Amino acid sequence: MTELLQKVRVIDPVSEIDELFDVLIADGYIREVASHISDITSDTQIRDCQGLVLGPGLVDLYSHSGEPGFEERETLLSFLQSAAAGGFTRVSILPDTSPVIDNPALVAQLQQKRAEGQRGRGAEKSLSPLLHIWGAITLDVAGKQLTELADLAAAGVVGFTDGKPLENLALVRRVLEYLQPLGKPVAFWPSDRQLAANGVMREGANALRFGLPPIPASAETTAIAAMLELVATIGTPVHIMRVSTSRSVELIASAKAAGLPITASTTWMHLLLDTKAIKSYHTSLHLDPPLGNPSDVAALRAGVRAGVIDAIAIDHTPYSYEEKVQAFAEAPAGAIGLELALPLLWQYLVETEEFTALELWQALSTRPAECLGQKVSAILPHQPAELTLFDPQQTWKVERKSLYTLSQNTPWLGQQLKGHVVQTWC
């Protein structure tokens, strides 16, 4: 199949281009990129793309799949469909399924499941994103016994993380030593659970106003400081997940300036909302780490623009309606986001001119890929067509029938959004 996208706005963070072009795509490859393309075959499908944006496919560093174990929240197929609908061509699932992804057999089973889903979709085969799987670091709930890290690496995991805090620093040190020769990314979520205690909201005036148990910023920053000391000692590269405070951004900036081999990410919701939003007590605003104070949001946005925070992660966390219909403090933490992130980030960061389109796309595509030790191709002839076509002006309503995900735990449910992904090429 050959397609000609006419007068599309090409946003390419690899080549640092933001210009109007005609783009010819055939047989899964970009064939031509030019100001005007007229030499086409009679069977070429021509699409007028004035007002549309074409960029490299988005890359999600970490999200949750319900399957295996929690298929009522999300199946692997619905997860991949949701990702493609949101413009993502590569996604990475965390290992906290049931059973936990802690052995090569389960990695192979999930990859086989994804392959079977592709074959079963016929003509939609090209819409299935590339699936990456994080391997678990520890075997048991207590987090004291390591998995067979080398076996998981050989099975093809993208890297290692538990997706939950590891507070045993002696174990973290051992992990960094063991993983050094494997050359796989390792990601940690630094959080001191004793300092966090039973808190559900960032400490500050709004926590007092809303009467919710607070979590001090130091629950994150002390854990990050300890992690940075270990990285400085061992030298193994580390990715720091779910950064949510202004002080954390300062610590990471100083560590990078000192030459420590670290990367970092925050989540899309931590860039958009602060503690004022929790006035609604909507349980989909109960996140872990919690939404920051306004000063945290400002620091995170500046950190992403400056590259101190390398990537924006989605951390898509589906829960059933029954699980979320509880008091705010009792509901499980997390919200969906694969189909919502690009439209909302574009609307509130790009259209307000706080971010350039290139800065946002870089944080959602090329830099997440780099955190995984991968590259994203430029939008140039002879490169694979791993692309996202986005309409910043198309409006749509967030409701059950408009979402591919099986869960609806989002504070934007029932609202009209502006911006919608038109097509992905994987």
Q: Which residues are known to be catalytic?
A: 315
Give exposure, 191-222, as e/b (b: 16+ Cβ within 10 Å). Answer: bbeebbeebbbbbbebbeebebebbbbebbbb
Which residue pairs from 352-357 have beta carbons closer than 8 angstroms and sit at least 24 positions apart in sequence? 354/301, 355/301, 355/304, 355/305, 356/18, 357/11, 357/18, 357/53
Distance CA 236, CA 253 (A): 18
Distance CA 358, CA 355 (A): 8
* Structure tokens that stand for 98 in this block: 């049931």
Specify whether the CB–CB gap between 171 and 188 falls below 8 A: no
Reference 143, options 103, 102, 199; nearest CA is 102
Q: Residues 6 or more apart from 120 whose CB is under 8 A from it?
A: none
Distance CA 199, CA 288 (A): 10
The most distant pair of C-alpha atoms in the chain lies apart, rounded to whole Å, by 67
Reference 137, options 124, 127, 152; nearest CA is 152
Specify whether the CB–CB gap between 357 and 18 falls below 8 A: yes
* Structure tokens that stand for 43 in this block: 């069977």
Distance CA 112, CA 303 (A): 38
Reference 292, options 337, 248, 339, 331; nearest CA is 248
Specify whether the CB–CB gap between 336 and 405 falls below 8 A: yes
Specify whether the CB–CB gap between 33 and 22 falls below 8 A: yes
Distance CA 57, CA 220 (A): 31
For residue 206, which phi and psi values (nearest 5 degrees)?
-70, -35
Residue 360: C-alpha distances to residues 55, 58, 271, 346 (Å): 11, 11, 11, 8
Specify whether the CB–CB gap between 269 and 203 falls below 8 A: no
